[in-house]
Amino acid sequence: MVYGRGLEAVTVQDLEQQLASGNPVVQLVDVREPAELEIVAIPGFINLPLSQFEQWQTQISEILDPAKETWALCHHGIRSAQFCHWLKQQGYSHVKNITGGIDAYVDEIQPTWPHY
């Protein structure tokens, strides 16, 4: 699936399959705020809040491997799409946005988890 302006996307079902596989090849990044993660978070994600962009942007190549596939998550998919576009500008070619974000994940995969 392509997500606006050439950005590829994956579904929350794809994410669940990835998590179940235990395959560490995909880098998972959650760009939500720490307070949002306190409400609900999926284990295995690196947290890079967009509000703290200035603090981590110059270290991105130390945090994430540009050769690995990277999937990004936020609340609904808007902030993670922004992050994906920025990563592509930095030379990351295997970047995908998780459609619907944590909201869709809770609705469709983990309905007993907190919803906000």
- In three-state secondary structure terms, 86 is helix
Residues 82, 50: contact at Cβ < 8 Å? Answer: yes
Q: Which of 7, 28, 74, 104 is catalytic?
A: 74
- Confirm whether 74 is a catalytic residue: yes
Q: What distances in angstroms separate CA 51 from CA 18, 33, 38, 54, one per listed residue?
A: 27, 7, 16, 8
CA 112/CA 92 separation, integer angstroms: 35
d(CA 40, CA 76): 13
- Residues 85-104 as b/e (b if ≥16 CB within 10 A, e otherwise) read bbbbeeebebbbbbbbbbbb
Among all residues, which ones are annotated catalytic? 74
